[in-house]
């Protein structure tokens, strides 16, 4: 019989044999967020379409080509979130979080959805970790956020991760810069790709981010945004660099870094790995001072970053780093007969209440199959219960690595657990 359904193109299943990798990453990321004073925020998987049209930008590829948008039975247009920032900003406004005192520091784990060609490290459903700061305009906030991202990669002991930064200025800076870009790129209207031709009028900065080899070559000779920064934006960018130097964080200024989302202003940055090929950006972020106002709130300086978890896992694997394997089961009890099954159920429950992992047979296997399963799951200890063990109140606890056996009492759960822990301690010492 054929399968009723298969996973949708652009999605992936995270299977039990791999889920521990994700749990490890989530623990590292949430621990680092906690150290920096960030609390978790969780927002809905879908929002009103207008939120992304205004927040992300109607002229962006995300809004024009990549969003999963649908109409409800009530005629409302909703969209699966293509990124995490707009939803977090909406929640801040709707619930008045700014009244709790500034700055607001929030982090999130989220699934995002974009209809684009599936590629390494970026499926149509993908996972992000993000950190957001609201209500901080000083460049020291930019530096602190970059430090937080950098410390994540340090904690993961990832080599060969480099930081590139830029400033894309404020709207006033970009007026003159856009004019200079239009003048420059207008010389190549017969060469630019069709997408960049449409960008030339709407947002010429986005041509700098085109993946076409021809457009990339043309863009190399384009004017640099850093030559068009107003005095305030230039000073802001210089201070960010000063703080990063004070923190001994190495970086390179890359004037070609731009953003595909309209809400970015001033500082933008990327952490890049050369170990995963073309899709090399592991973390991207920056400042977006106009976002909250664009969504209908009062001006509130904001900044943040997002890390693609699939891509981060790719870097870890490409660098040959091992993610700690999950803790093995402490005990497997093989039971023969109804009375033994009841006793195994009781003992396993007591062991689990101490926080230790324990299992017993729940599918009706024979003894040989049960012991084979104990080996398969890597249990540290095993124990066979049958009529004799139940009658005598004692059983043999077997160390599955050394084969050493120890007689233990099974009538008193507390004594049994003490014996189990003693056996484990002895095995660790050996």
Query: Model confidence over 320-376: pLDDT tens digits?
Result: 999 999 989 999 999 999 999 999 999 999 999 999 999 999 999 999 999 999 999
Strand partners, 272: 162, 281
pLDDT band at 280 (very low <50, low <70, confident <90, very high): confident
Assigned token pair, 195: 């997408």
Assigned token pair, 58: 């109607």
Q: What whole-number distance in Å separates Cα of residue 376 and Cα of residue 370?
A: 10
Residue 63, pLDDT above cutoff 90: no
pLDDT at 262: 66
pLDDT at 211: 79
Strand partners, 265: 287
Q: What whole-number distance in Å separates Cα of residue 301 and Cα of residue 138?
A: 9
Domains of the chain plus CATH, in order, are 16-170+230-318 (3.30.930.10), 331-422 (3.40.50.800)
pLDDT at 1: 59
Residues 227, 49: contact at Cβ < 8 Å? no
pLDDT at 274: 86
Residue 174, pLDDT above cutoff 90: no
pLDDT band at 212 (very low <50, low <70, confident <90, very high): confident
H helical segments located in 221-337: 231-246, 291-294, 309-318
For range 252-271, the mean pLDDT:
86
pLDDT digits (tens, 9 = 90+) for 26-55: 999 999 999 999 999 999 999 999 999 987
Q: What whole-number distance in Å separates Cα of residue 81 and Cα of residue 378?
A: 40
pLDDT digits (tens, 9 = 90+) for 404-420: 999 999 999 899 999 99
Reported pTM: 0.90
Residues 6+ apart with CB under 8 A from 371: 334, 382, 384
pLDDT at 27: 97
Residue 63 vs residue 260, higher pLDDT: 63
60 class by beta-carbon count within 10 Å (0-12 exposed, 13-18 middle, 19+ buried): buried
Averaged confidence pLDDT in the chain: 92
**How many other C-beta atoms can be found within 10 angstroms of the C-beta atom of residue 320?**
8
- Rg of the chain taking only CA atoms, in angstroms: 28
Q: What whole-number distance in Å separates Cα of residue 48 and Cα of residue 90?
A: 10
pLDDT band at 201 (very low <50, low <70, confident <90, very high): confident
Q: Of all residues in the chain, what percent carry a pLDDT higher than 70? A: 98
Q: What whole-number distance in Å separates Cα of residue 158 and Cα of residue 156?
A: 5
pLDDT at 430: 67
Residue 12, pLDDT above cutoff 80: yes
pLDDT digits (tens, 9 = 90+) for 117-156: 888 778 999 999 999 999 999 999 999 999 999 999 999 9
pLDDT at 208: 86
Question: 3-class SS at 65?
Answer: helix
Nearest one of 200, 198, 208 to 179, comparing CA atoms: 200
What are the counts of helices (DSSP H) followed by strands (DSSP E) for the chain? 15, 16
pLDDT digits (tens, 9 = 90+) for 88-128: 999 999 999 999 999 999 999 999 999 988 887 789 999 99
Q: What whole-number distance in Å separates Cα of residue 233 and Cα of residue 242?
A: 14
Residue 23, pLDDT above cutoff 90: yes
Assigned token pair, 25: 């990453």
Residue 260, pLDDT above cutoff 70: no
């Amino acid at each position: 019989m054929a399968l009723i359904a298969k996973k949708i193109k652009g999605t992936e299943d995270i299977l039990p044999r791999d889920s521990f990798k994700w749990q490890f990453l989530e623990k590292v990321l949430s621990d680092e967020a906690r150290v920096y004073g960030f609390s978790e925020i969780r927002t809905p998987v879908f929002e009103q379409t207008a939120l992304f049209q205004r927040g992300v930008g109607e002229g962006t590829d995300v809004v024009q080509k990549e969003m999963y948008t649908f109409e409800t039975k009530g005629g409302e247009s909703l969209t699966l979130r293509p990124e995490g920032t707009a939803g977090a900003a909406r929640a801040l406004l709707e619930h008045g979080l700014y009244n709790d005192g500034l700055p607001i520091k929030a982090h999130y784990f989220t699934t995002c959805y974009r209809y684009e060609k599936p590629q390494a490290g970026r499926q149509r459903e993908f996972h992000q970790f993000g950190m957001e700061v609201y209500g901080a305009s000083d460049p020291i906030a930019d530096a602190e956020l970059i430090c937080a991202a950098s410390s994540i990669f340090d904690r993961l002991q990832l080599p060969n991760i480099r930081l590139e930064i830029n400033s894309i200025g404020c709207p006033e800076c970009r007026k003159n810069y856009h004019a200079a870009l239009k003048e420059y790129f207008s010389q190549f209207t017969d060469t630019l790709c069709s997408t960049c031709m449409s960008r030339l009028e709407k947002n010429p900065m986005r041509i700098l981010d085109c993946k076409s080899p021809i457009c990339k070559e043309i863009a190399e000779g384009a004017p640099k945004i850093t030559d068009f920064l107003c005095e305030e934006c230039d000073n802001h960018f210089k201070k960010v660099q000063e703080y990063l130097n004070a923190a001994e964080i190495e970086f390179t200024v890359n004037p070609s870094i731009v953003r595909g989302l309209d809400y970015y202003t001033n500082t933008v940055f990327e952490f890049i790995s050369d170990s995963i090929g073309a899709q090399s950006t592991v973390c991207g972020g920056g400042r977006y001072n106009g976002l909250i106002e664009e969504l209908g709130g009062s001006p509130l300086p904001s900044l943040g970053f997002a890390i693609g978890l699939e891509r981060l896992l790719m870097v870890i694997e490409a660098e040959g780093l091992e993610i700690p394997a999950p803790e093995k089961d402490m005990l497997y009890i093989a039971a023969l007969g109804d009375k033994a099954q009841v006793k195994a159920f009781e003992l396993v429950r007591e062991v689990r209440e101490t926080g230790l992992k324990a299992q017993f047979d729940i599918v009706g296997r024979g003894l040989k199959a049960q012991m084979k399963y104990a080996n398969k799951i890597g249990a540290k200890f095993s124990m066979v219960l049958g009529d004799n063990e139940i009658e005598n109140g004692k059983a043999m606890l077997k160390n599955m690595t050394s084969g050493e056996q120890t007689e233990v009492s099974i009538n008193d759960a507390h004594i049994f657990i003490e014996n189990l822990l003693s056996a484990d301690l002895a095995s660790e010492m050996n």
